[in-house]
């Protein structure tokens, strides 16, 4: 696991060194550079495999091919044996060197041979071509920009921003998407001219320009088998994936919540000696929200278990967290994720976690709501649908919470959202958008000044419509799953995991996202993913003998930061200091009337909106205004 960076088309040793310094947290163990005739590659290494000889960059036998690499190739030993049989000579025991020789053998098709998570840059001096590649799922990040026929790339955006010719300008279309989803989906970022290399794609760059190609695509192809067939194969594929991800020359551990997803990983690792587990909770009345379940699970598998709490003091970490999250994510959970990774850093270098299970097995509330909304619209007369809407207007919030999973203190904004969801059951894309959006278009019109409306030409509904249009499946729930696999998963879930673990020089691994398991889940009919009101049904069946019965059958508990109770005071104080000072006023972006509305509300949705805006403003000051992070922290 590492940070990679570099450029093609010019030479600038000082820039290369600055790019390295900006992301040394990703790999504090060693630094390496390659510079030759307008090509510069760099790496800052977190040593996990081959601690002695795996320093990068790594070359082939005649030094005509060079690579810097971030990630893990789990099948590298198998590949190495095959390559040695074909005459290739190896000088290290690392998985990185396998990339070089597989490229020599298969060219750009080398990507089809790698099992793992990866982002790498490879320079072929004979062909004078730079190859950038990102793994099938998008577990490892890779950003790039092209200016005056020169290409720059890096594991984090902050490295690219050190290039003085790159203007720090906001992409208003991306900002619109951020406000809807709390992150920017797709290949764009909040910066004009800076892009993500999409999952399962590679980029080639030479004197003729840039080409981007897809080397792997996920499709939904329903198969017809019984429950036993699917559960048996899931367990086999997941077991194999976990076993591969135990590959490490350094200590490893597991993030656990006490639930099905992380519990399944832990159960399949139970034969590992000196296993360490980590969990997090919140101070106050929510102190035992997941900690008791996690503690019980750790006792069953006899792990060395460590816990930490998120207190109100943790809110002071926000500016530091936003500095790490140059690819901004405006969700309060980033505080808990950062603190948990901070704890893990004390004991391990590698962490396994349960990310990806909800996406593969339809585990979110909006998956269930969308499916039953579809059936409700299809089989319920219009008169009864209108009656349901009218009942919703007067029903107590706690009853709505049973189905829609909103917090009990539902604000008017939240209740209006539920009514909109029920009113759009026959307009599936719009219904989905109402379920997942943080800010609706109506909210944005109320929040922003004319600058936003003038600059923005692309709204969230257009993005959803275009995404769903390109997915060929007759079932709407499958369209949601594939859409989220290409957006929510790499751009939110995995980006958050990578940035916040690597902030503490910890590598995160995700067994549920082995590409063979992912491909298999796309063949499972919806009726096996959800049964009645039980989500992830087929995963529960697969793990029924691996986990205690209470864990297999327990209802999913979403990990939600209690932002409107625990941090309301701290968030309001910081918001008043930031949104009403001269810097924010000069930006001429936010309506103070809407900000005041959020400050005076106790509703959960309004609290999340305020946090997203607060994160955005700190991001603005850090990366657009270029304020010193220490100065920003003084506001707290």
Q: Is the pLDDT of residue 199 over 60?
A: yes
105-142 per-position pLDDT tens digit: 999 999 999 999 999 999 999 999 999 999 999 999 99
Q: Which residue has the higher pLDDT, 458 or 416?
A: 416
Q: What is the rounded average pLDDT of the residues 514-543?
A: 92
The pTM for the full model equals 0.94
- State the pLDDT at residue 47: 81
The count of other CB atoms within 10 Å of the CB of residue 486 is 20
Domains and CATH numbers, the chain: 2-168+187-214 (3.60.20.10), 227-359+492-553 (3.40.50.620), 365-433+457-486 (no CATH)
Burial of 487 (0-12, 13-18, 19+ CB in 10 A): buried
pLDDT of residue 288: 46
Question: Which residue blocks in 470-509 are alpha helix, DSSP H?
Answer: 476-486, 488, 495-502
Alpha helices in 64-95 (DSSP H): 76-85
Please tell me the least confidently modeled range out of 201-210, 235-244, 544-553. 544-553
Under DSSP, is residue 275 helix (H, G, I), strand (E, B) or coil?
coil
Lookup: tokens for 507: 């590598």
Answer whether residue 405 shows pLDDT above 60.
no
pLDDT band at residue 400, thresholds of 50, 70 and 90? low
Which has the minimum average pLDDT: 98-107, 334-343, 556-565, 599-608? 556-565
Q: Is the pLDDT of residue 607 over 50?
A: yes
Q: What is the pLDDT of residue 567?
A: 84
**Cβ-count burial 88-109 (b if 16+ within 10 Å, e if not):** bebebbbbbbbbbbbbbbeeee
42 phi/psi in degrees, rounded to 5:
-145, 160
Mean pLDDT of the chain: 89
| Alpha-helical segments (H) within 318-364 | 318-324, 333-345, 357-360
- The CA-based angle 286-292-297, given to 5 degrees, is 145
Question: Where in the sequence numbering do the catalytic residues fall?
Answer: 2
pLDDT recorded at residue 393? 77
Higher pLDDT among residues 239 and 474, named by residue: 239
Number of neighbours of residue 300 by Cβ within 10 angstroms: 14
pLDDT at 408: 42
Closest to 327 measured CA to CA, from 479, 158, 171, 181: 158
How far is Cα 373 from Cα 422, in angstroms, rounded to an integer?
8
H/E segment holding residue 122: strand 116-124
Q: Which of 58-72, 481-495, 559-573 shows the lowest per-residue confidence on average (mean pLDDT)?
A: 559-573
Q: Which helix (H) or strand (E) holds 310?
A: strand 304-310
Query: For the chain, how many residues are written?
Result: 636
Question: Mind listing the pLDDT tens digit for each residue in 147-168?
Answer: 999 999 999 999 999 999 999 9
């Amino acid at each position: 696991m590492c940070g990679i960076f570099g450029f093609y088309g010019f030479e600038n040793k000082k820039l290369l060194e600055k790019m390295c310094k900006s992301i040394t947290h990703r790999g504090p163990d060693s630094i390496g550079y390659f510079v030759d005739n307008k090509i510069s590659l760099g790496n800052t290494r977190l040593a996990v495999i081959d601690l002695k000889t795996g320093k990068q960059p790594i070359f082939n036998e005649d030094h005509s091919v060079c690579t810097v690499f971030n990630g893990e190739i789990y099948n590298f030993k198998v590949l190495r044996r095959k390559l040695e049989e074909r005459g290739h000579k190896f000088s290290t025991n690392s998985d990185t060197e396998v990339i070089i020789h597989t490229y020599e053998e298969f060219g750009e098709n080398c990507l089809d041979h790698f099992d793992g998570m990866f982002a790498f840059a490879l320079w072929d001096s004979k062909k004078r071509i730079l190859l950038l590649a990102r793994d099938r799922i998008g577990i490892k990040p890779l950003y790039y920009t092209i200016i005056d026929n020169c290409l720059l790339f890096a594991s984090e955006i902050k490295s690219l921003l050190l290039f003085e010719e790159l203007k720090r300008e906001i992409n208003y279309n991306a900002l619109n998407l951020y406000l809807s989803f709390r992150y920017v989906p797709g290949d764009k970022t909040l910066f004009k001219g800076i892009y993500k290399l999409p999952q399962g794609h590679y980029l080639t760059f030479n004197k003729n320009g840039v080409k981007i190609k897809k080397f792997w695509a996920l499709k939904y192809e329903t198969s017809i088998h019984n429950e036993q067939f699917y559960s048996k194969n899931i367990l086999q594929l997941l077991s194999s994936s976990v076993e591969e991800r135990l590959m490490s020359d350094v200590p490893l551990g597991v993030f656990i919540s006490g639930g099905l997803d992380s519990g399944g990983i832990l159960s399949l690792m139970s034969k590992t000696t000196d296993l360490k587990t980590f969990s997090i909770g919140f101070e106050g009345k929510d102190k035992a929200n997941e900690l008791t379940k996690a503690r019980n699970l750790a006792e069953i598998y006899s792990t060395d278990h460590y816990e930490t709490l998120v207190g109100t003091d943790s809110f002071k970490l926000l500016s530091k967290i936003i500095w790490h999250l140059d690819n901004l994510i405006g969700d309060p959970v980033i505080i808990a994720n950062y603190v948990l990774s901070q704890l893990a850093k004390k004991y391990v270098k590698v962490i396994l976690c349960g990310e990806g299970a909800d996406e593969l097995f339809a585990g979110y509330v909006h998956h269930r709501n969308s499916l039953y909304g579809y059936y409700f619209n299809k089989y319920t007369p219009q008169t009864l649908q209108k009656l349901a809407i009218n009942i919703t207007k007067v029903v107590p919030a706690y009853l709505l919470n049973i189905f829609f999973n909103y917090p009990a203190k539902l604000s008017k904004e939240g209740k209006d959202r539920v009514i909109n969801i029920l009113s759009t059951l026959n307009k599936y894309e719009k219904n989905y958008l109402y379920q997942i959006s943080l800010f609706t278009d109506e909210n944005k019109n109320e929040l922003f000044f004319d600058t936003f409306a003038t600059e923005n030409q692309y709204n969230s509904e257009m993005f959803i419509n275009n995404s769903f249009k390109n997915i060929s499946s007759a079932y709407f729930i499958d369209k949601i799953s594939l859409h989220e696999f290409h957006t929510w998963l790499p751009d939110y879930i995995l980006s958050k995991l990578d940035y916040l673990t690597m902030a503490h020089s910890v590598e995160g691994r995700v067994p549920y996202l082995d590409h063979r398991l992912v491909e298999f889940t796309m063949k499972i009919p919806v009726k096996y993913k959800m049964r009645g009101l039980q989500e992830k049904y087929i995963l529960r069946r697969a793990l029924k003998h691996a986990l205690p019965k209470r864990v297999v059958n327990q209802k999913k508990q979403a990990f939600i930061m209690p932002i409107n109770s625990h941090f309301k005071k701290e968030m309001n104080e910081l918001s008043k200091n930031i949104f009403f000072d001269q810097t924010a006023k000069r930006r001429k972006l936010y309506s103070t009337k809407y900000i005041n509305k959020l400050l005076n509300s106790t509703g959960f949705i309004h609290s999340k909106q305020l946090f997203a805006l607060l994160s955005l403003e700190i991001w603005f000051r850090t990366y657009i205004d270029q304020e010193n992070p220490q100065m920003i922290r003084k506001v707290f």
